[in-house]
Structure 1
Amino acid sequence: MDYTTLQVIVTIVCAVMVGFTKTGLPTLGIFVASIMASTFPARESVGLLTPILITGDIVAILYYRKAVVWKHLFTLLPWVLAGIAVGFVVLDYISNGALSVLIGSLVLALIVVHLLRAKIESWLRISLGQSRLFTGTLGVLAGFTTMIGNAAGSIMSIYLLSKGMNKTNFVGTNAFFFFIVNVIKVPFTVYLGLIDARSLTLNVWMIPAVLVGAAIGFKVLPLIPQKYFQAIILSLAALGGLHLIFF
């Protein structure tokens, strides 16, 4: 079955937003995950979005290749792999309807987490930055959420905030984390039949859109008032999450 015109248009828009979120505004990723799962069958959206995310990841790691803090990635990755394994099992058995509700609920929960993040930032660094339980919990949650819905951005942000990184190291480490994790996810999504020749063909056509989004992120983001733009994105993400749950 071919993709509809609406699905192609939505994918182009989401590909631009992926490029933008990888080089500019991380919270946009929540909205992308929700809108893709609203436009496509929820399980199919996971496989369709993953290669687009990897394209954006490649752009980001090339730009921020000197800013990564590897020790924080190596500490987290074993727990992330466990979360991916759990998400893989869930994806193998869950229906599209149930997955839509799960992703929608997850999106709403992550929005709440994001809104609370700034208020608890100092507490995260002081109280939880060195906690192994904290690291393990967030690692499993990040692996699970990225596997079932490509929606681990807010969780990873909380982890990186707890390490007290500066802005450049934050973005660079985040970029390398998602590149590694999204590549690890590929064999699982292929096995589940969520990535195939049909979806990859559409993914290839989306590469220019991702590059356009990345360029916008590099050039335009400093000109946009962050607090207003972020409020709009989070509101749209909330609407997307509610749509997944109730419609």
Structure 2
Amino acid sequence: MLTDPTFYLLAIPAVILLGLAKGGFAGVGAIALPLLALRISPVQAAAILLPVLVVQDAVGVWAFRKNWDREVLALMIPSAMVGIVAAYFLAAKVSATVVLAVLGAISVVFACYRLWISRGGRVPVSSNAPRALGAALGFASGFTSQVAHAGQPPFQMWVLPKGLSPQVLVGTTAIFFAVINLFKIPAYLALGQFTHENLMAAAVLAPLAIASTLLGVWLVRRVNAERFITIIYVLMIVVGVQLLYKALS
């Protein structure tokens, strides 16, 4: 079992932010894996976080089970599964250093994209874009989710222009990632990533994962957290740059 205090100093806020994201603060959980990757390998960090994500998904889906968009899920889930399979076959050939660099780059790009959107920037996909693009973005979401639990950017590029209500957007996101996170489990098992050490660390973090998700569900209906979310994205850029530096050096 992991006993490094520094790991838990990073893991506790990471899991809390994941819970807030699952509860409705979309996007802030994307910093969780980059935070852990500052201390342990991104591959091990992803393996520890997957069981945590599955637990949080169950809470999020239950909370928003009545609010979701059938058309988005029907289009994006099958293509995301194809992306997960593709990433699985690639994973055995890619070093942890490459994963670290990819994770850093995704962190910086996603945070900049979200900050740009929050300042009134236009989403680069129109609401009447062809369904083939939606399927391609679903594939990209599954692929990046399998590699680094970073499937939010392509998913949001397709969904945000749809103009869904906040509740439907959160519910659709919760169900989409709940399904693909479950689909990722066999791949992680096949790659031998669910070691005893990783599963024990996930078990220690599980109660916090449930509590933080319930907190997110409660808060999202009561507070305007724009300033908090902006700070998280700025921090994500800093962490992403640090990961890139770590990989390149």
Match of 2:142 in 1: 143
Does the CA-based 8 Å contact 2:14-2:29 persist in structure 1? Answer: no
Match of 1:213 in 2: 212
Report sequence identity in percent: 21
SS of 1:119's partner is coil
Match of 1:124 in 2: 126
Q: Distance in 2 between matches of 1:191 and 1:104?
A: 25
Q: Distance in 1 between matches of 2:89 and 2:180?
A: 17
Match of 2:79 in 1: 79
Match of 2:245 in 1: 246
Range with bigger deviation, 91-100 or 216-225: 216-225
Match of 1:231 in 2: 230
**1:158 CA drift (Å):** 2.1
Match of 1:100 in 2: 100
Match of 2:132 in 1: 133
- Residues 12 and 105 (structure 1), Cα distance of their counterparts in 2 relative to 1, 3 Å cut: same
Range with bigger deviation, 187-196 or 171-180: 187-196
**1:13 CA drift (Å):** 2.4
Does the CA-based 8 Å contact 2:101-2:244 persist in structure 1? Answer: yes
Q: Distance in 2 between matches of 1:115 and 1:193?
A: 37
Match of 2:64 in 1: 64
Q: Distance in 2 between matches of 1:20 and 1:205?
A: 18
Q: Distance in 1 between matches of 2:50 and 2:124?
A: 33
After superposition, what is the alpha-carbon deviation per residue over 1:165-215, rounded to whole angstroms, capped at 9, x for unaligned? 111111101100000000000110111111223211221221211122123
- In the alignment, structure 1 residue 53 sits paired with structure 2 residue 62: no
SS of 2:122's partner is helix
Q: Distance in 1 between matches of 2:111 and 2:154?
A: 10
Q: Distance in 1 between matches of 2:181 and 2:15?
A: 15
TM (norm. structure 2) is 0.90
Does the CA-based 8 Å contact 1:124-1:161 persist in structure 2? Answer: no
Q: Distance in 2 between matches of 1:227 and 1:238?
A: 17
Residue type at the aligned position of 1:19: G
**1:164 CA drift (Å):** 2.5
> 5 Å matches for 1:7-18?
7-18=7-18
Residue type at the aligned position of 1:124: S
- Residues 75 and 205 (structure 1), Cα distance of their counterparts in 2 relative to 1, 3 Å cut: same
SS of 1:120's partner is coil
- Residues 40 and 15 (structure 1), Cα distance of their counterparts in 2 relative to 1, 3 Å cut: same
Residue type at the aligned position of 2:168: N
Match of 1:186 in 2: 185
- In the alignment, structure 1 residue 29 sits paired with structure 2 residue 25: no
**1:240 CA drift (Å):** 1.1
**1:105 CA drift (Å):** 0.8
SS of 2:207's partner is helix
Residue type at the aligned position of 1:200: L
Residue type at the aligned position of 1:183: L
Q: Distance in 1 between matches of 2:213 and 2:33?
A: 17
Alignment size in residue pairs: 244
Does the CA-based 8 Å contact 1:34-1:107 persist in structure 2? Answer: yes
TM (norm. structure 1) is 0.91
SS of 1:124's partner is coil
Does the CA-based 8 Å contact 2:73-2:176 persist in structure 1? Answer: yes
After superposition, what is the alpha-carbon deviation per residue over 1:75-127, rounded to whole angstroms, capped at 9, x for unaligned? 112211221122212321111112101110111122233234452249622x4
Range with bigger deviation, 36-45 or 114-123: 114-123
Q: Distance in 1 between matches of 2:26 and 2:125?
A: 22
Residue type at the aligned position of 1:207: A
